[in-house]
A and B are shown apart, each in its own frame.
Chain A
């Protein structure tokens, strides 16, 4: 089996101009990112724009967005396995590979945010002194790593079954798939609770936070998948039915509908009651005492989300490639702003002593972030190239153990 695994990797890395040009391009960005990270290691997090007032920034914003992307893989799993909707079932593997990639990127974003990355073992269960169950960050370590493990096992078990031309045993995989559904919900819920549980930060300390996290994740994650599926379909022999893509697009419309409703509920409560706890939201949408760096961003995001919602909602636009892809890009960008910087920064503005420190990421933060995104793109490309020959049946191993 190890031999087959290596053969499959050799197949994945086979010469292909287009792929190697892509990989080379990504490696250049990764190298620039590593270069910036080495500088950050040498000089400390002072190279970022984060300070005591805004102690989390772009890294944690990206982390939060990507947890949502990872969680959204479940949206494919539910119709695929529970309702046996065949067109989606056939492509759920690529969703799981995306979840693996997104979680790996999440872990990288946390690592570059740590002041003492070498001491990260202190947070591990058994070897460190994990503050469980008290710290939500400890919960996050458990659910994220667990999710990574579950998706890795499901994806590679499926691929192994396919590689020997055998339908995988449902009795083995079904419990894991069932488990992966609440687990996907849990990773984004726990990540929301991480912010939600802090009474010091009224912007996050709203019960609506976790439901909004889930609703928005179920928009951005599947939108990203629709784009990726079309790319996979175009660049390989994998057949992905339009029906599957349109179904996903329809589900996005419902998720965005819920997300917009929840946003409306939040906006009403904050602005109608108008207590001092609405200050961060005023900063986000209208600016505060002349400080309004986030204002154009959040309104852009809002416009994008609403436009995308209608494009996904109407069958005519969601089933036309141009408008579908436009909707996906608007949705991904809108949620990236809203659930990234738009979520993290207002938590710190004004800070707990009333100071306003306007944050925007430094060049180092942007370079390191680009490096991690490039690493994620490379990892996903490799995983897909590994999976495609097995998935299409081009690569088959004899199932006999003696050969």
Chain B
């Protein structure tokens, strides 16, 4: 019996005295004592997923599958964004919201599209506008830059997290165990890209708008008081599909692929275009590449 099991039993004993031992209480304590995702064996993960699926069923009144697909061998995901194509329509933003079950109220977006005035200073982002709302895009005098989690190879958020609730998986995706996050928000202070979002209130989303195909480390419904962010649609990409934002982009500005595969789209972009990454001076080494495919 290790120390945590001992504590767990001790606390369960106390809880048994304090509370009536009906099933919901047992579930509460199971959740309370759930181990860190990476410290659980396959069997424990399976049990946790069964419990979480049951919780979702009770909450949303429908079956939500929580997947646990592992990183694929020989895969390191990379993303490309063609700034010369982006028209600032924000379809990626809303496709992401529908795919990844973000809260509608309060509204949470994983992608932020920044608008800049042509010719203005823009790399420091201080003159960006994120609440632009014109009748029609693109606007002649502006250009746009979407920003989301840059999946850094050297992620400051992972270094900052005091509980190791966020980490970089083998395929390069920075993930969060929503059941392990304590909500201290140090990662949000550490992230140079404003990519992390906090659930300040209970996330609200109508049951009919829940995407039922989810991943434990990705788009499963989140809790109040934890941090979330873009995972390159882990529930899709680990099954060989494109992220939702790539599919939604009407102008093909978004490219995605395996950085280790010389034939991939993303490798083509890196080798044939002039790519740059956001805030390269910080040495975070993002796997999110911006480029200009053609000038206009």
Q: Do A and B come from one complex?
A: yes
List chain A positions with a Cβ less than 8 A from chain B: 43-46, 48, 50-53, 55-56, 110, 113-120, 122-123, 126-131, 134-138, 141, 194-195, 198-201, 276, 279, 347-348, 350-355
A354 touches B128 (CB 8 A): yes
Please, could you name 12 A-B residue pairs with CB atoms under 8 Å apart, sorted by A?
A46-B106, A55-B185, A55-B198, A115-B227, A116-B226, A119-B181, A129-B36, A134-B159, A135-B159, A141-B162, A354-B114, A355-B194
B36 touches A199 (CB 8 A): no
Contact of A198 among B106, B180, B189, B201 (CB under 8 A): B189
Which parts of B221-237 form the interface with A (CB within 8 Å)?
223-227
Which parts of B19-43 form the interface with A (CB within 8 Å)?
32, 36, 39
- A131 neighbours in B (Cβ, 8 Å): 161-164
Name A120's closest neighbour in chain B (CB-CB).
Answer: B182
Name B225's closest neighbour in chain A (CB-CB).
Answer: A115
Contact of A135 among B39, B162, B198 (CB under 8 A): B162
Which parts of B193-224 form the interface with A (CB within 8 Å)?
193-194, 196-202, 223-224
B180 touches A122 (CB 8 A): yes
The proximity string for B residues 137-167 relative to A, scoring 1 for CB distances below 8 Å and 0 otherwise, is 0000000000100000000100111111100
From residue A60, how far is it (CB to closest CB) to chain B in Å? 9
A46 touches B201 (CB 8 A): yes
B194 touches A44 (CB 8 A): no
A200 touches B189 (CB 8 A): yes
- A126 neighbours in B (Cβ, 8 Å): 3
Give the docked Cα–Cα distance between A339 and B53 (Å): 46
- A46 neighbours in B (Cβ, 8 Å): 106, 200-201
Known: A116-B183, A348-B189, A352-B194. 6 other contacts (CB 8 A): A115-B198, A119-B181, A123-B163, A352-B191, A353-B112, A355-B194
B7 interface residue (CB < 8 Å to A): yes
From residue A96, how far is it (CB to closest CB) to chain B in Å? 27
Give the docked Cα–Cα distance between A199 and B285 (Å): 13
- Interface residues on chain B, number (Cβ under 8 Å): 52
- A138 neighbours in B (Cβ, 8 Å): 162
Give the docked Cα–Cα distance between A115 and B202 (Å): 11
From residue B212, how far is it (CB to closest CB) to chain A in Å? 25
- B199 neighbours in A (Cβ, 8 Å): 44, 115
- A141 neighbours in B (Cβ, 8 Å): 162
A127 touches B3 (CB 8 A): yes
A44 touches B202 (CB 8 A): yes
A115 touches B181 (CB 8 A): yes
Give the docked Cα–Cα distance between A119 and B178 (Å): 11
From residue A287, how far is it (CB to closest CB) to chain B in Å? 14
B193 touches A199 (CB 8 A): no
B15 interface residue (CB < 8 Å to A): no
Q: A43, A114, A127, A353: which has the most chain B beta carbons within 10 Å? A: A353
